[in-house]
Chain A
């Protein structure tokens, strides 16, 4: 209770209140505009928050992160285009409801589910905080190294069907982080004797290039889309009443969001799909899913809004970001000399609680704003794409140039913008690059300091948490190998399905042997017929 009060005391300032308001309203607006998204907004605003107090800067960014998904559901429901990537599942049931003339019911359900998910996760984490504070100090260098390694493995294998290129891009991120002066030995690495590379490649420059500039290029290159909005009829409060009729779906989806959010590298997509499949399996009318099911909409929206608060756990407790947005926030901590990790939980627990309380207040603010302003807000969906591209390009300049007033940074950001544009066009993942950069740096430092106290390989995992993390890594890799094997088998079975032949390896070998024998038999018969030609009877 004392912690809660001291947390509220930190927040009881006019600038924090203003930051909360700006973050929540700004986040909803950004989420509602398809093609912008929270990553672009956070990347642009990041340098602007460096001059603010840590709590003010983080509140603005958390506001955008936490509220963008509320806004993202608006275009997902009204025009079948997700405002943010994580609202893709909302279109499955939201848009069919709009086509049935129930747009306001769908929006209201999305708001109430998002609100429930957001509040549920914050309450879970406030209750969970004392336990975390006990566990966090048990994380030494080797545990943090193993947790970062687990995070990077999860990020790679979470990109199913793209995991090879995701691994290559994560390694690219690790390599990018090594450019510049090696702090421990003062030797240069991959600077190619260029003085501007001695300081390394700035994470924010990479983030701005990959997220903001690439998005501007995508929008400038594309075409404007004409959208027709339907008129909204009915009450916005009906969603809360409907949500109360599905407490099980909402509760389980919120729980999935909290658990998945806490695991680095997993995030909203997995939480959403798990809760959606659960809701469909346990529903009395599973056939309605994908055709405007209220349970489907509740599952998707509750799960994705429960993630942001939970995603702050690995960041605050261990200093390990689980995805791109928390990786960006990590740089805000570093700029203000607040080092997230076990020390933060031990010494500044009130700061952690203040962040959670701000998330709670944020959810309330967003819902009030949406209940009042949805009719006006839906007009932002009509902003032309190419004009948005002009706006993002103009705003990206502020983000990059205000860092160090460096033309080189801008050229580098433009180069990463081109890379991001190519990756987005090819539907290849960008997040592994960012996490490779951040987690690579953490792994390098922690492994070096951990190995100083390790004599045999087993020493590395002789502590309980290190052992658990190691076993988790082995388990995750084992499960992934098994999945790849099953996928491969399934693919083979599909290929051979027309021949009605067995797909087992033994059967394949038998057929091969049969074929070889037949071929060999043919050759042998042909040879025999050459050497012992039938006699013509002539001499």
Chain B
């Protein structure tokens, strides 16, 4: 199979070795656990064994991952590889933003959380003008109305809505 990275000038070289090493290490670990994570049933044909397809999957990951690593033009870690690794780690901030949003919705409610989340993240991204703040608030409102009120997607009512008075409580649970 062709894998000549040096022939593909669009593909960046930084970080390739790091990814290939991490991928191969993870694949090798999974292959090592094949025996205790899958079963071999006596009397069953090879193709019907529960172990057959996981073995194809992790086996292929190890073989092709190793060949990919072997074909890479760089064999040593250089400074750009470490810098690329730092870029990968830097996105953990956005992951935390996302998870905080996910955790807050069942407690505070979809509408209030989205109305806080979108402008706050926009501000963090550097959009501090009142115009952009209003745009992000309007965006948040439209998204909640479109998905929860109109399309009725399954997002449960929040704990905070329990403190709302009678009719308003059920209205918020159903629509926001």
Number of interface residues of B (CB under 8 A): 78
Of all chain A residues, the one with the shortest Cβ separation from B127 is A387
A498 to chain B, nearest CB (A): 17
Whole-angstrom distance between the alpha carbons of A390 and B116 in the complex?
Answer: 12
Given A163-B2, A164-B1, A178-B53: A421 touches B88 (CB 8 Å cut-off) = yes
Given A190-B33, A402-B153, A451-B45: A393 touches B97 (CB 8 Å cut-off) = yes
**Do A164 and B97 touch (CB < 8 A)?**
no
Query: Interface SS of chain B: helix, strand, loop or mixed?
Result: helix
B47 to chain A, nearest CB (A): 5
**Do A167 and B53 touch (CB < 8 A)?**
no
**Do A401 and B102 touch (CB < 8 A)?**
yes
**Interface residue tally of chain A, by bracket?**
35 or more
Which among B23, B102, B118, B139 has the highest number of chain A CB atoms within 10 Å?
A: B102
Query: Is B57 located at the chain interface by the 8 A CB criterion?
Result: yes
Q: Which residues of B contact A405 (CB under 8 A)?
A: 106, 154-156
A488 to chain B, nearest CB (A): 8
Which among A161, A163, A400 has the highest number of chain B CB atoms within 10 Å?
A: A161
**Do A444 and B53 touch (CB < 8 A)?**
yes
Q: Which residues of B contact A173 (CB under 8 A)?
A: 57
A62 to chain B, nearest CB (A): 18
B102 to chain A, nearest CB (A): 4
Q: Which residues of B contact A400 (CB under 8 A)?
A: 102
**Do A161 and B7 touch (CB < 8 A)?**
yes
Whole-angstrom distance between the alpha carbons of A411 and B92 in the complex?
Answer: 12
Q: Which residues of B contact A394 (CB under 8 A)?
A: 101, 114, 117-118, 121, 139-140, 143
Interface residues in B82-126 by Cβ distance below 8 A to A read 84, 87-88, 90-92, 94-95, 97-99, 101-103, 105-106, 114, 117-118, 121-122, 125-126
Which among B88, B97, B118 has the highest number of chain A CB atoms within 10 Å?
A: B88
B157 to chain A, nearest CB (A): 11
Query: Is B67 located at the chain interface by the 8 A CB criterion?
Result: yes
Query: Is B152 located at the chain interface by the 8 A CB criterion?
Result: yes
Contact of A51 among B84, B99, B152 (CB under 8 A): B152
Q: Which residues of A contact B153 (CB under 8 A)?
A: 47-48, 51, 398, 402
Whole-angstrom distance between the alpha carbons of A298 and B98 in the complex?
Answer: 42
**Do B47 and A448 touch (CB < 8 A)?**
yes
B72 to chain A, nearest CB (A): 10
Which among A160, A165, A170 has the highest number of chain B CB atoms within 10 Å?
A: A165
B10-31: contact bitstring with A at CB < 8 Å (1 yes, 0 no)? 1110011001100100010010
Query: Is B77 located at the chain interface by the 8 A CB criterion?
Result: no
Query: Is A391 located at the chain interface by the 8 A CB criterion?
Result: yes
Q: Which residues of B contact A387 (CB under 8 A)?
A: 122, 125, 127, 132, 135-136
Q: Which residues of B contact A163 (CB under 8 A)?
A: 1-3
**Do B121 and A390 touch (CB < 8 A)?**
yes
Interface residues in A377-425 by Cβ distance below 8 A to B read 384, 386-387, 389-391, 393-398, 400-403, 405, 407, 410-411, 414, 417-418, 421-422, 425
B51 to chain A, nearest CB (A): 8
**Do A164 and B71 touch (CB < 8 A)?**
yes
Query: Is A157 located at the chain interface by the 8 A CB criterion?
Result: yes
Which among B1, B47, B53, B125 has the highest number of chain A CB atoms within 10 Å?
A: B1
Query: Is A357 located at the chain interface by the 8 A CB criterion?
Result: no
B135 to chain A, nearest CB (A): 8
Interface residues in B64-86 by Cβ distance below 8 A to A read 64-65, 67-68, 71, 84
Contact of A185 among B7, B39, B99, B102 (CB under 8 A): B39
Contact of B12 among A187, A220, A426 (CB under 8 A): A426
**Do A175 and B58 touch (CB < 8 A)?**
yes
Of all chain A residues, the one with the shortest Cβ separation from B37 is A190
A232 to chain B, nearest CB (A): 25
Given A397-B98, A448-B47: A157 touches B1 (CB 8 Å cut-off) = yes
Query: Is A174 located at the chain interface by the 8 A CB criterion?
Result: yes
Of all chain B residues, the one with the shortest Cβ separation from A393 is B98
Query: Is B173 located at the chain interface by the 8 A CB criterion?
Result: no
Query: Is A132 located at the chain interface by the 8 A CB criterion?
Result: no
Whole-angstrom distance between the alpha carbons of A222 and B16 in the complex?
Answer: 20
**CB-based closest 4 A-B pairs:** A175-B57, A171-B60, A168-B64, A164-B3
Can you name 5 A-B residue pairings with CB atoms under 8 Å?
A165-B3, A189-B54, A384-B127, A393-B98, A402-B147
6 more contacts with CB within 8 A, not counting A189-B38, A398-B155, are A162-B5, A168-B27, A168-B61, A190-B54, A213-B98, A422-B15
Chain A positions near chain B (C-beta within 8 angstroms): 47-48, 51, 156-157, 160-165, 167-168, 170-178, 182, 184-185, 187-192, 213, 216-217, 220-221, 384, 386-387, 389-391, 393-398, 400-403, 405, 407, 410-411, 414, 417-418, 421-422, 425-428, 436, 440, 443-444, 447-448, 451, 480, 483-484, 487, 491
